[in-house]
Amino acid sequence: MSDLLANLNPEQLAAVTLPPQHALILAGAGSGKTRVLTTRIAWLISTGQVSPHGVLAVTFTNKASKEMLARLSSMLPINTRGMWIGTFHGLCNRLLRAHFRDAGLPALFQILDSSDQLSAIKRLLKNLNVDDEKFPPRELASFINAHKEQGIRAAQAEAYDEYTSRRVGLYAEYEAQCQREGVVDFAELLLRSYELLQRNEPLRRHYQERFRHILVDEFQDTNRLQYAWLKLLAGRDGAVHTPNGACLFAVGDDDQSIYAFRGAEVGNMRDLEREFKVENVIRLEQNYRSHGNILDAANALIKNNRGRLGKNLWTDAGAGESIRVFEGFSDIDEARFVVDEARELVRDGFVRTQIALLYRSNAQSRVLEHQLFTAGVPYRVYGGLRFFDRQEIKHALAYLRLIGNPDDDTAFSRVVNFPTRGIGSRSIEALQEAAHRNNSSLYNAAASLAGKAGTAVGGFIRLIETLRTETENLPLPEVIDHLIEKSGLRQHYLGEKEGRERLENLDELINAATNFLQEESDTLANPAEANPLASFLSHASLEAGEHQAGEGQEAVQLMTVHAAKGLEFDVVFITGLEQGLFPHDNAAQERDGLEEERRLMYVAVTRARKRLYLSHAQTRMLHGQTRFCVPSSFLEELPEELLRRVNRAPAYTATAPSRTATPAASSGQTSANGLRIGQNVEHAKFGLGVIVSAEGRGAEARVQVNFGAHGMKWLALEYAKLTPV
């Protein structure tokens, strides 16, 4: 027993050894909550307070439940295989399998994953002859799942307009189809399980008497239906009340509630405290992950949120290093600093896998990926795809490839019916046969198709020809912008639940083309010698296929802040800290949106163990145009004494973005940096040049250099390496 409780701090010990009663454990980031949860189960079993079969433990990921079972096995000489420890979906599946008849399901009912559900909805719309452009399948799936997560069946759903009424009707048809086919989607698992327990009193009492202790991890991420399910099992569901119900032991952190877009209700924590009359709210505030300065910054930031349950993280590991803040002139400059710094860290002994580059939006990864690629640094995008591997980017590139080469069958096959334009598999098969027969490309074979298939494919051919004609004399970024619009890609993604993120990626593709032209201006200066479109497509292919870290290879980690939750790293870079980006523009449109963004920033900060970098840029490419940025309000909320400014970019003024802040020096005048107008200098990338103008002083000093073939460049002397010749 002493071994079980050894090395627990006073708060952890108090939580683990609580008497049988309801409890809320406010566990801060890095405070050892998983250890507390697991040790609590082991202590209850080892002291004879409950048998292994009397415990119900809920986690949010399969990984977490497996880890919990493994820890329990090492703590106690028991067989954990029969224990009810798992995710909400896993436990509900187990319940429905055991009582399938009572639940109105076949014995071998199948579970639809997200893609299966989407396919089922598409099939339903086709069978009912419903226009899938007016009722996009993804949007309808989100509508159905959102209602189920609120515990609302189609029969109870409210509709205040004709469009919603039609969606409710389709929800009812979808329910009937699933019941007929003996399948359930993820949201149905929980709803069907809840309804089974609610209406079947003998079954409900059986499980209420069986599970004496219910333990829940990441309680701040529960939605309304999950909380209702827990209340039902604990004997606290409104009219259904069991005096001697189970003890509910909830562990969570309201400051890390960042999944409102998935239906998570941070208010469940307050509801639990009130409805269960929780007398024991224990705060785990000692952090075992981060140094003091990082925690002080996190505390200062999150205290700006209203209605917190309240806690203050601390550590005995010492203050550690100051938080480094970098202000770049542009997003490229910011990315270059991050990558250079990451390389220096590796040289200093840090392991690549312990360096994380975080960003608010997926589209931000592109400029970071490009710099990593250029520098030859292996990287891995955690929990997502690399920029040029993303579906929407591949679609846009396929259209570009067809404009350049209509005989590209791979590109043709990818987008001939995307967005959907009524070209079915039979039409494609007929086209492939015609191409094979005539020994031609799919594009050229289209002319030989007759009937409905010929008309549908002919429409696509005309689209490509029109795109080619309309973009013939346009610059590359405008070509991409035009085809995104005219191909229907933009309109298609506007109707998707995750469409905003995909549209941000498509806009970033325009930025990628703009940056590519700037970087390669020397080779593309003469259109007769090079084709910008072909060069860019080659660049995209090379960048997509290079520097992907192999299995087991050390690599820098790239991820969104959402994907970083639950992870920790020695070094963390939080990039793009600008208004509109982080906090995101969306926050202003949603109730408590800014507070959710601040919790997200709190999560990002608390991922760092030893060193934290915060970076932002004065200018950022948006839709192929330079946008002037305002630093994130979150930076202002951090105590200045915790920060170390590693540089300050030369400042643009709001009224004079055209470099007029300081008069240029006259010919022959020496600048503060020892350089003069007319002096020859050498640059590592642009080669030999001559200084033609200068402005600013000290950290804000800049020079304009004529590099001949590379053109005129403005360079900040603070970080541009110019060698006098």
Are the C-beta atoms of 649 and 714 separated by less than 8 Å? Answer: no
In DSSP notation, 412-457 reads HHHHTTSS--S--HHHHHHHHHHHHHHT--HHHHGGG--HHHHHHH
What confidence score (pLDDT) does residue 101 get?
A: 93
Catalytic residue at 218? yes
Active-site residue, from 360, 401, 607, 611: 607
What confidence score (pLDDT) does residue 344 get?
A: 94
d(CA 127, CA 123): 6
Active-site residue, from 185, 217, 265, 578: 217
User: How many C-beta atoms lie closer than 10 Å to residue 81's C-beta?
Assistant: 8
Nearest alpha carbon to residue 491 among 178, 147, 195, 134 = 134
Q: Which residues of the chain have pLDDT under 70?
A: 1-2, 237-244, 497, 520-530, 542, 544-552, 623, 648-674, 678, 696-699, 708-711
What's the pLDDT tens digit per position in 510-541? Answer: 988 888 887 766 544 444 346 788 778 877 77
Range 172-200 burial, b when 16+ CB lie within 10 A, else e: ebbbebbeeeebbbbbbbbbbbbebbbee
Catalytic residue at 34? yes
What confidence score (pLDDT) does residue 709 get?
A: 63
Catalytic residue at 217? yes
SS (H, E, C) 152-173: CCHHHCCCCCHHHHHHHHHHHH
Report residue 723 as tokens: 């060698």
Active-site residue, from 11, 12, 33, 595: 33
Active-site residue, from 11, 149, 188, 218: 218
What confidence score (pLDDT) does residue 297 get?
A: 97
d(CA 506, CA 490): 8
First-to-last alpha carbon distance for the chain, in angstroms, is: 75
Report residue 366 as tokens: 């592109």
Helix H or strand E encompassing 185: strand 183-185
Active-site residue, from 117, 208, 256, 557: 256
What confidence score (pLDDT) does residue 521 get?
A: 65
The residues pairing with 380 across neighbouring beta strands, listed in sequence order, are 557
What confidence score (pLDDT) does residue 550 get?
A: 58
What confidence score (pLDDT) does residue 312 get?
A: 92
Q: Cis peptide before 583, with omega less than 30 degrees from 0?
A: yes
The average confidence (pLDDT) of the chain is 85
Active-site residue, from 17, 34, 49, 150: 34
Contacts of 570 (CB under 8 A, 6+ apart): 350, 351, 354, 355, 608, 609, 610, 611
What global pTM score does this model have? 0.76
Catalytic residue at 33? yes
Catalytic residue at 700? no
What confidence score (pLDDT) does residue 320 get?
A: 94
What confidence score (pLDDT) does residue 552 get?
A: 65
